[in-house]
Structure 1
């Protein structure tokens, strides 16, 4: 007959196969690596920012103007010379035309202090003139970004640091086992003895008396047995890991 309790103990003996120490060690290591990696990315961002703002304005504009997307340029032109009837939302478009007032307005908008900027002339806008307008707007946007980065450096960079951290691991290992056995037995015994006699007289024509007698004996033994065996065993394992980190932010002054 199987023993459920013994089976449960056998399951509990396999606890080492779970590798809970390795699980905990990896949790701590991965958390540490994530924090170090995050700090390195922030440091790289600081270094990149300082590198950019340390460039002269002209070099910064030349290095970044090609990264200015067409959407930003169109937004700039739509703000300076809006045209609701145009499919691009601005009067400064290829195939269009600029009045003297409009040409002056866009020329003033793309001017960069300390830098030589082109003068946008009035008249029709051909492909060459349109390309010059787009280039001038891209330089203007790049200059604005340069100014913004300079201001960020003055304020300091918002960075994310770990103030307090808690690493928690938990292992719950449950085993259970039970054995059930039931036996029922019933016996039945019966002894019986019977005697039967009978007689019959004939009519007046018979002078004989007919008689008969019989005996019987019976012995019955009945034995019934019912057995039930039930064995259950099992195990339950719960591994719980959590990382709790409290963050705070501060400003790190950067000197350009």
Structure 2
């Protein structure tokens, strides 16, 4: 009965599984995740409105230093690419020691132009002739301003259209506990009894001639009894305890647009 008792003892400790705590944590964690996601969306909306509430010139001055060299290089390589590019050549003609023709200057200034931002000469800083370090730095600065202006235009368009957001319509939280305890005891006894009894007599005689006063004789007897008893005993005791805890969350989302600029 050892295995059965073990199984029953295990079943009596069901409360140790802490299934209510598991369910509670699943519910609270899901709730916290939904609230956190909604807060992140609201923060994004606030940051967007704060950014677009600035004037274009203010936004450019506040963000131009955040523009990375990769973005600047992409703009310059598109506006002033090398004449005969190779694998080892610079991706743009705007390098120290290079030169700009009149056509290249006009093309570059068109790409750099930022009207209506109170920038000197509308950000057209490219000049013909040799490119010194100062000229290259000025062009790169102007490229950063142009990229910042592009981002400002994108943000204002997003405000005009409204922000895409995720909204939870309904959901289901499901938890299950599968508990099974089994016990099994068995025993067997097998015995074997075997015996053997043997009796043996041996005799021999010897005479000297036909008649002899002397008779030599010998005799012996033998008796043996063998008894063998074997006992095989086997005992099997097994118990099985299986606990399956399952938790699932199903949330249905829909998307809509949050109007940020009712006008």
What TM-score comes out, normalization by structure 1 length? 0.84
1:65 aligns with 2:64: yes
Indicate which of 171, 177, 181 corresponds to 2:187. Answer: 181
**Residue of structure 2 equivalent to 1:248:** 254
Deviation, 1:67, is 0.8
Distance 1:187 1:58, change over 3 A: same
Compared CA separation, residues 146 and 192, structure 1 to 2 (3 A): closer
**CA–CA distance in 2 between the matches of 1:128 and 1:195?**
133
Give yes or no for contact 2:167–2:254 (8 Å, CA) kept in 1: yes
Q: Kindly provide the CA deviation profile for residues 162-207 of structure 1, in whole angstroms up to 9, marking residues without a partner as x.
A: 22222121222221211111122455688999999xxxxx997489
Do structure 1's residue 230 and structure 2's residue 236 form an aligned pair?
yes
The aligned counterpart of 1:210 is none
* Contact 1:11–1:234 under 8 Å retained in 2: no
Segments of structure 2 that go 5 or more residues without pairing to the other structure are 203-207, 214-219
Question: Between Structure 1 and Structure 2, how many residues are aligned?
Answer: 255
Q: Structure 1 CA distance, aligned partners of 2:141 and 2:257?
A: 36
Could you tell me which runs of 5 or more consecutive residues in structure 1 were left unpaired when the two chains were aligned: 197-201, 208-213
Tell me if the contact between 2:114 and 2:123 (Cα under 8 Å) persists in the aligned partners. no
What's the counterpart of residue 77 of structure 2? Answer: 78
Number of the residue aligned with 1:199: none
Counterpart position of 1:127: 133
TM, length-normalised to structure 2: 0.82
Alpha-carbon distance between aligned partners in 2 of 1:179 and 1:31, rounded to the nearest angstrom:
45
Q: Is 1:23 matched with 2:22?
A: yes
**Cα gap change, 1:195 to 1:37, in 2 (>3 Å):** same
- Distance of 2:21 and 2:229 partners within structure 1: 61
**1:187-242 CA distances to partner (integer Å, 9 max, x unpaired)?**
5688999999xxxxx997489xxxxxx99999887654332211111312221222
Aligned to 1:102: 104
Residue in 2 that maps onto 1:144: 150
Measured on the aligned residues, the alpha-carbon RMSD in Å equals: 3.1
1:46-76 per-position Cα deviation (integer Å, ceiling 9, x unaligned): 0000000011111001011111111111111
